[in-house]
A and B are shown apart, each in its own frame.
Chain A
Amino acid sequence: MTTADTKKKNKPNVSELFGKIFKRQIFIPIAAVLVLLLFNLIVDPGFFSIELTRNSAGNPVLSGNLITILNNGSELAILVLGMTLVTAASGGQDISVGATIAIAGSIILRIVCGTDAKADSASFGIVLVAFLVACVASMAFGAFNGALVSIFKIQPMVATLILFTAGRSIAAWINNNQLPTVSDPSFGYIGGFIPGIPIPTPFIITVICIVLMALLLKFTNLGLYSQAVGINESSSKLNGINPIFIKFLTFVILGLCTAVCGLIKVSRVSGITYSVIAQDIEMDAILAVALGGNALGGGKFNMAASIIGAYIIQILTTTLYAYKIESTALSAYKAIVVIVLVIVSAPAVRNKTKAFFAKLKAKAAAERKEVA
């Protein structure tokens, strides 16, 4: 009797709790990560093994699929930080990030290698200078996009189509279409491992970027302002916010993110291929934002969900590689998973399933009544 009572009492609470969790925006991306990891756990538990090995230079490095995910997902995770803000404030996406990464990479190599398109040594100082110049340049390109979007009121996707078209050409032009390479192994530390630290450097950089972004959101009103601007520009303006500046700012921040990605990218291969570097990364970044459950039409955003979205894509990629799927065919499988995910999280579908369950519940209740 008493147990039945407590059961009755607890039940709605539990379902309420589930309802709350289910409603949270971050639920779907986390569930997706869990499902993907569970799949790997069932099919091949070895997927999760992490080993401490020594790389060709004799330094200790961690390896394993999970490390690969954290390592390779870095650029996307960094990019998503800026892309989420741009999406929130301007209600559109920047499709020129891949091209801007190419430009940033090209600038870094141009400064490190000079006109010879070859560099045997890359001191810390020159790399730093190169990176800073690339930052300024990327932010300038971000500002160009931002100006088109905020001042000329062109939709972001269309405005950034300009740099998308021209970006890789500009990157090639900066190095006079040569393919510079850096043979100094220390240049590769940024995209690989710093001797003595077994954790991949890109992941460390990602963590730093995420922390910086968290601080930025905590100690400024950037989050509130960009959401307000994204939801209702005219109202924000009357509340003393400058929507033009906020939109502009988000694009400049995204520009900074692309510079960091550019540095990691060129360091990974100690060189550049203009048409291949960061190819399709803009699509992945947009996808990550969407997978995080953020409306691509702007407004409210959840940064953590976006970052998880970025890693979902990387987990998927790594999983597929682990099952020996050719890299060129990868996108087909990726597409299927993406479609499944967006269908599951589509509001129309969610409402229908909710209604369906509600009906089932009502039916069960009616039956119970009848029995009673």
Chain B
Amino acid sequence: MAFLKKSMGAAKKSKMTDTNLLLTITIVVFVAMYLAAVLFLGEGFLKPQAFFNMLNQNAALIIVSCGMTLVMITGGIDISVGGVVALVSMSCAVHLDHNGGSILEAVLLALGIGLAFGLIQGFLVAYLEIQPFIVTLAGMFFARGMTTIVNATQFNVAHEGFVKLKDTRIIMPEIFGTLNKHGKFIPAYIEIGVVVAILVVVILFCVLRWSKTGRKFYAVGDNNQSALMLGINVKRTKFTAHVICGLLAGIGGFVYFLHVGSGSPSHASGMEMNAIAASIIGGTMLSGGVGNIVGALFGVLSLSTIKDIVSSMGFDEAWWTGITVAAMLCIFLIIQSIVTARKSSSVAKSDG
């Protein structure tokens, strides 16, 4: 915790904003954790492919977490995202396999489902002023229920074009590649989903940092009464956040589908909670107004790293993962609570 104290001291001096402070902590923790894993657990983590696999496996979660972060910045929450991902992958699977649809249609279907959820939930939350938790809870129930109505069992997609797309690997530059024990060169690769995820992160980061709309999300989450007085259309801003989050859940759903290549009612179960956890670890506060998209990326990577570390340390039983993730969440929450306390005490002092 020494570094925490130090960085907080530094923050006090330079008057760092909460957003940047929490982000710095997240990145430092992630790098420290990964380095520790490389040092103590060695080889497995040293291979660049290990890192790329982490991205491959979590591309969908990264995209969904970005949407979650955005909604959380505005002070809301969206717990329907896991359900939407499941519904999207099931619908696309059924469309491709049973209806013989094309991939483009499937993509549009995914976007359409996500957008529909975003629009309806956004309308209910922003314009009818119903609590986001309840609205998106109903959204989650609906999406999960619809998934089984679309198709009740798991099945793998055999659609030719899709399988080809699913197996497409983007080869990384040679220096990331490794030699296997026979001395054969194995290039490092990422999946298409990762490219999508990185695009989403970059675009959303720019929007939040440098666009007028982006800054409105922060203002609304910080204090929506004030935001209204400052001339911001609070309702529209909240609506937009939910629509984007829904859309990203749709995109995330397709990326998830692309990664697993099957439809199942139990897909993406608990994904909403993972996304919330990733956002929190990434320095987003549920109370709104503080958060960062890059944080969401590092949040997902941190979650994934800790899972890898736990399993490679020999704690193979499934429950250890749950417990460690929870412990990590606990630590980050306490850090956030300390940051908030630091701020209120400094205000009290300067108030005189």
Per-residue contact bits, chain A 3-37, to B (CB 8 Å; 1 contact, 0 not): 00000000000000000000000000000000000
Docked pose: A158 CA to B275 CA in angstroms: 12
| Given A286-B137, A328-B145, A343 and B130 contact (CB-CB distance below 8 Å) | yes
Contacting residue for B145 out of A164, A296, A333, CB 8 A: A333
User: What band does the interface of chain A fall in when counting residues whose beta carbon is under 8 Å from B?
Assistant: 35 or more
Are B134 and A290 in contact, CB atoms less than 8 angstroms apart?
Answer: yes
Contacting residue for B141 out of A165, A283, A348, CB 8 A: A283
Are A153 and B341 in contact, CB atoms less than 8 angstroms apart?
Answer: yes
Contacting residue for B149 out of A173, A332, A348, CB 8 A: A332
Contacting residue for B333 out of A148, A290, A346, CB 8 A: A148
Among listed B60-68, B211-219, B225-233, B319-327, interface-contacting one: B319-327
Contacting residue for B139 out of A161, A163, A173, A335, CB 8 A: A335
Are A343 and B128 in contact, CB atoms less than 8 angstroms apart?
Answer: yes
A134 at the interface (CB under 8 A from B): no
Are A347 and B129 in contact, CB atoms less than 8 angstroms apart?
Answer: yes
Are B145 and A332 in contact, CB atoms less than 8 angstroms apart?
Answer: yes
B133 at the interface (CB under 8 A from A): yes
Contacting residue for B128 out of A157, A158, A338, A348, CB 8 A: A348
Are A169 and B134 in contact, CB atoms less than 8 angstroms apart?
Answer: no
Residues of B within 8 A of A329 (CB): 145-146, 148-149, 152
Are B129 and A166 in contact, CB atoms less than 8 angstroms apart?
Answer: no
User: What band does the interface of chain B fall in when counting residues whose beta carbon is under 8 Å from A?
Assistant: 35 or more
B311 at the interface (CB under 8 A from A): no
- Tell me how far the C-beta of A350 lies from the nearest C-beta in chain B, rounded to whole angstroms: 10
Are B326 and A166 in contact, CB atoms less than 8 angstroms apart?
Answer: yes
Q: Which of A285-329 contact B (CB under 8 A)?
A: 286-287, 290, 296-297, 326, 328-329
A219 at the interface (CB under 8 A from B): no
- Tell me how far the C-beta of A42 lies from the nearest C-beta in chain B, rounded to whole angstroms: 25
Q: Besides A153-B341, A330-B145, A331-B141, 7 other CB < 8 A contacts?
A: A93-B133, A157-B77, A170-B322, A297-B131, A329-B148, A334-B145, A343-B124
Interface residues of B (CB under 8 A from A): 77, 124, 127-131, 133-135, 137-142, 144-146, 148-149, 152, 265, 273, 276-277, 280, 286-287, 317-323, 325-327, 329-330, 333-334, 336-337, 340-341
A-B contact pairs, 14 of them (CB 8 A): A158-B280, A162-B327, A169-B322, A170-B319, A173-B317, A173-B323, A286-B133, A328-B145, A328-B148, A329-B146, A331-B144, A336-B142, A342-B124, A346-B128
Interface residues of A (CB under 8 A from B): 93, 148, 152-155, 157-159, 161-170, 172-173, 177, 283, 286-287, 290, 296-297, 326, 328-336, 338-339, 342-343, 346-349
